[in-house]
């Protein structure tokens, strides 16, 4: 599947004449030696949630995580897959106009790179996209706030909606703290809160 095909659902849901969200350009290969990126955004929409995104095959594979990723291995976070997003979305922070899909405010809570640690039952490393298709991926995050091993596991598969679990691995990296209050959380880039981003976008 080309990047254009992968982003079809994303583009159908949005009116880019009104939304400041990126449309997404042509597919581009990752530079040799550059690790794939991840980003966590807080989205104050109909319900406030965290969006967890991993760069895979030229797009951002995305999950809505209601309670957000945790640094505590005892926390199991529900993660609902959403449509693939363009890589440019990793830079998006701002507001989505009222009446548009996902209307509300978005801040960049964390960003960084990740390394796949996914293997088959014999311990042989397998491609990350293949591991996703199988329903279980393991990876190590290197972000400003999230660090160490994590796993995403599909626990329900159906025509309506899949459900995954995002879990912190019990390794030596990680704060063991739960996710902060979204209303008080600050952008990793601009240090703004959701309220401040919304106020900055208000023409009044």
DSSP secondary structure string for all residues of 144-168: SS-EEEEEEEEEE--SS--EEEEEE
128: part of which helix (H) or strand (E)?
Answer: helix 128-134
Beta strand 37-44 pairing with 48-56: antiparallel
In this structure, the number of other CB atoms found within 10 A of the CB of residue 16 comes to: 12
The reported pLDDT for the residue numbered 175 is 61
Among candidate residues 113, 110, 101, 99, the one with its CA nearest the CA of residue 42 = 110
Among candidate residues 139, 146, 142, the one with its CA nearest the CA of residue 71 = 146
pLDDT over threshold 90, residue 204: no
At 34, is the pLDDT very low, low, confident or very high (cuts 50, 70, 90)? confident
**Per-residue pLDDT tens for 103-128?**
999 999 999 999 999 999 899 999 99
Cα separation, 53 vs 85, in Å, equals: 8
Domain boundaries, the chain: 3-24+34-201
Q: How far is CA 99 from CA 19, 50, 85, 95, 106, in A?
A: 10, 20, 20, 12, 16
131: part of which helix (H) or strand (E)?
Answer: helix 128-134
**Per-residue pLDDT tens for 148-167?**
999 999 999 876 789 999 99
> Model's pTM, two decimal places?
0.92
The reported pLDDT for the residue numbered 198 is 96
């Amino acid at each position: 599947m080309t990047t254009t095909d992968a982003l079809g659902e994303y583009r159908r849901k949005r009116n880019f004449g009104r939304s400041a969200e990126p449309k997404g350009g042509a597919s581009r290969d990752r530079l040799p030696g550059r690790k794939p990126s991840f980003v966590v955004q807080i989205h104050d929409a109909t319900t406030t949630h965290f969006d967890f995104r991993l760069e895979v095959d030229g797009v951002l594979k995305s999950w809505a995580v209601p309670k957000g990723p945790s640094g505590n291995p005892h926390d199991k976070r529900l993660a609902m897959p959403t449509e693939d997003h363009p890589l440019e979305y990793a830079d998006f922070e701002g507001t989505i106009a009222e009446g548009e899909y996902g209307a509300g405010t978005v801040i960049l809570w964390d960003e960084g790179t990740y390394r796949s640690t996914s293997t088959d039952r014999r311990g042989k490393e397998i491609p990350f996209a293949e591991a996703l298709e199988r329903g279980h991926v393991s990876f190590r995050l290197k972000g400003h706030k999230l660090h160490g091993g994590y796993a995403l596991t599909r626990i329900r598969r159906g025509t309506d909606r899949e459900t995954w679990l995002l879990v912190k691995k019990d390794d030596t990296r990680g704060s063991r703290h739960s996710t902060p209050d979204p209303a008080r959380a600050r952008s990793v880039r601009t240090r703004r809160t959701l309220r401040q981003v919304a106020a900055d976008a208000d023409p009044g």
